[in-house]
Amino acid sequence: MPSASPSRKLKSQRVTLREIADAAGVSIATVSYVLNGRGAISADTRQRIRKVVKKLGYRQNQAARAMKTGRTAIIGLVFPNIENPFFSSLARSILNEAEVNGYQTFLVDTEGSHDRERKVVAGLLEHGVDGIVWFPVDDHDTLAGAGVDVPVVVLDRELSGQDLVQAEYYAGGKAAADYLTALGHRRFGLIEGPQDVGNARERSRGFVDALGDESMLAWRTEHAYSMHLSAEACGRLLARDATAVACGNDLIAIGVLSTLASGGVSVPDDVSVVGFDDISFASMISPTLTTVRMPFEAMGRQAVRLLLRRLAEEKEGPRSRITLGVELVERSSTAAPKAV
């Protein structure tokens, strides 16, 4: 055996419970108690320990803690694309609410891929996340049967059997239509978001239903998952056979504004444009965009709270569905149509 070296300490420079206990002349149990506010510890020892903790710069080792408690105080956030301002706004509010509740958040980007959804969630599970907030790529439940054994809250998608937080898409579409018809518009164009997800379909449905008279819809086209408008959409737009165009989301609307501008069509004089979401850019561009505001802040907050509630109590029990209100924000991309 090697000679017993007097100098140890070569290992981890991180201060442990043991060292605190020694320095304070108590047992590690006692230190643990005061750190976690458990047990009955005299004010005296409590103070002494607190002092040592501070002096030595002790930090709890959450990994060790997790091994005993089975809880990591980590949640996973699974998003399709954080570069999209819609998602980053939502992510921000989730991050914030998680932190307020003492949770760290793993953020993973699925890049719109089902395969990646499975893969990244597996990684999350290895790290023992206590729960997951998931914004699925589309309405497909890629996690079904993937052995996810922690609570999951789904955002904005329609997956059966999952806790859900969403917004009033249908009402939002309706609000846009009502607003436009109240302004006097009678000939509409509609550029929908990708119709493979329920919320985009609902937005469209709300809009079209509210129009009532089908003949008022001059044209309707779907926008693919890409930055720029389709040739069809551009043609429709510049043909000017509608006095107002509704867009499935603000990104589309910004593309529309851009196309219209380069085509020499004036907004809102020649045509009105309304978006959906109210991403931060909607109020920064020119003209500022009339749009239907998504409750980002509230959605993120509710999603985290719902998750934490599952963690704390009702592991089982009926699925919750929280639906939050939307609101039309009037800006300068809309106006009454010019008199014919």
- The SS3 assignment for 106 reads strand
* CA 253/CA 229 separation, integer angstroms: 10
* Binding of residue 103 to DNA (CB under 7 A): no
Q: Shortest Cβ distance from residue 78 to its own copies (Å)?
A: 12
**Does residue 45 belong to the site contacting DNA (CB under 7 A)?**
yes
Three-state secondary structure along 184-250? CCCCEEEEECCCCCHHHHHHHHHHHHHHCCHHHEEEEEECCCCCCCCHHHHHHHHHCCCCEEEECCH
Q: Does 14 bind DNA (CB under 7 A)?
A: yes
Q: Which residue has the tokens 């976690």?
A: 36
The Cα–Cα gap between 245 and 243 comes to 7
Q: Which is nearer to its own copies, 49 or 252 (CB)?
A: 252
Alpha carbon distance, N-terminus to C-terminus of the chain: 100
**Is residue 285 part of the contact set for its own copies (CB under 8 A)?**
yes
Please say whether the beta carbons of 233 and 257 come within 8 A.
no
Residue 167: phi and psi, rounded to 5, are -125, 170
Q: Is 191 in the site for its own copies (CB under 8 A)?
A: no
Q: Are 154 and 98 in contact (CB under 8 A)?
A: no
List 32, 89, 162, 166, residue binding DNA (CB under 7 A): 32
Tell whether residue 55 is a contact of DNA (CB under 7 A): no
**Residue 161 binds which one of its own copies, DNA, none, with CB within 5 to 8 A depending on kind?**
none
41 binds DNA (CB under 7 A): yes
- Contact positions toward DNA, by CB under 7 A? 11-12, 14, 16-18, 25-30, 32-33, 35-36, 38-42, 44-46, 58, 60-61, 64-65, 67-69
- Contact positions toward its own copies, by CB under 8 A? 12-14, 57, 59-64, 66-67, 70, 72-74, 81-83, 85, 88-89, 91-92, 95-96, 99, 104-109, 120, 122-128, 147, 149, 227, 251, 254-255, 257-262, 280-281, 283-288
